[in-house]
């Protein structure tokens, strides 16, 4: 039996779950507000939902909230908050946040720290992280981790 998609009902139940503190539903509400997926696009509202989910430790919400802070989209631009959010997600193994931190530290010319985050993301298959890590090694501004005696 196939059922017709009912996005309106899906949004309604997602909102109910989000309002009742369900982190994944809060993240999903943030995503819908961010992209305009079935809701009016509203970055401030997206940030509000991401913040609620991020407080509960949702790594995707932490990553997206960090990006909103980095861009000043829906929230005041605040690199300190962006880094805090990305670090929280990266500590949970979130590869996009690890990549974002690699980029930020590379731009800040803190190449060893950038390499650390690029290595973490590359180990999970993030191709651009692997490419950027190779470029740091090629430029001689970061060194591969030492192995063996």
Higher pLDDT, 29 or 4: 29
pLDDT in tens, 38-85: 788 999 999 999 999 999 999 999 999 999 999 999 999 999 999 999
Portion of the chain with pLDDT greater than 90, in percent: 84
Q: pLDDT averaged over the chain?
A: 94
Q: How many residues does the chain have?
A: 149
In the chain the first and final C-alpha atoms are separated, in Å, by: 62
Q: What is the pLDDT of residue 2?
A: 64
Q: What is the pTM of this model?
A: 0.90
| Stretch 13-42: mean pLDDT | 94
């Amino acid at each position: 039996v196939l059922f017709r998609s009912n996005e309106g009902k899906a949004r309604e139940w997602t909102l109910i779950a989000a309002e009742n503190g369900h982190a994944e539903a809060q993240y999903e509400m943030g995503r819908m507000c961010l992209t305009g997926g079935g809701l009016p696009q509203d970055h401030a509202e997206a940030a509000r939902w991401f913040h609620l989910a991020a407080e509960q430790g949702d790594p995707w919400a932490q990553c997206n909230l960090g990006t909103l802070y980095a861009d000043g989209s829906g929230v005041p631009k605040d690199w300190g908050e962006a880094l805090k959010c990305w670090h929280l997600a990266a500590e949970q193994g979130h590869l996009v946040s690890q990549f974002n931190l690699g980029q930020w530290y590379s731009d800040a010319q803190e190449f060893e720290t950038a390499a650390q985050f690029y290595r973490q993301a590359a180990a999970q298959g993030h191709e651009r992280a692997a490419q950027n890590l190779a470029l740091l090694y090629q430029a001689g501004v970061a060194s591969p981790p030492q192995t063996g005696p």
